Amino acid sequence: MRRSIRAIAVALVIAIILPAAALAHWPVANRYAYISQSYWSKHRAVDIATYKGTPIVPMRSGKVVFAGHKRNCGGYQVWVSHGNGLYSAYYHVKRRSINVWRGKYVKRQTTRLARVGESGCATGPHLHFEVWRGFPWASGSYRVNPWKYIDSGYWLPYRYR
Ligand SMILES: [Zn+2]
Q: Are 55 and 112 spatial neighbours (Cβ–Cβ below 8 Å)?
A: yes
Span from the CA of 4 to the centroid of ligand 1 (angstroms): 45
Report if residue 11 sits inside a domain: no
The range of the structural domain enclosing residue 138 comes to 25-160
Output the domain CATH number for residue 35: 2.70.70.10
Report if residue 12 sits inside a domain: no
Report if residue 5 sits inside a domain: no
Backbone angles phi, psi at 12, to 5 degrees: -65, -40
Backbone angles phi, psi at 45, to 5 degrees: -170, 170
Span from the CA of 48 to the centroid of ligand 1 (angstroms): 8
Span from the CA of 23 to the centroid of ligand 1 (angstroms): 22
pLDDT of residue 155: 80
**Identity of the amino acid at 149:** Y
Report if residue 112 sits inside a domain: yes
Report if residue 114 sits inside a domain: yes
Q: Name the pTM for this structure.
A: 0.84
Report if residue 6 sits inside a domain: no
Those residues whose C-beta lies under 8 Å from the C-beta of residue 70, and which sit 6 or more positions away, are 77
The pLDDT tens digits along the chain (161 residues) read 566 666 656 565 555 444 444 578 999 998 899 999 999 999 999 999 999 999 999 999 999 999 999 999 999 999 999 999 999 999 999 999 999 999 999 999 999 999 999 999 999 999 999 999 999 999 999 999 998 888 777 788 877 76
Report if residue 35 sits inside a domain: yes
pLDDT of residue 36: 94
Residues that place a CB less than 5 A from ion ligand 1: 45, 47, 128
Span from the CA of 45 to the centroid of ligand 1 (angstroms): 6
Report if residue 3 sits inside a domain: no
Q: Per the structure, how many domains does the chain have? A: 1
User: Residue 50, SS3?
Assistant: coil
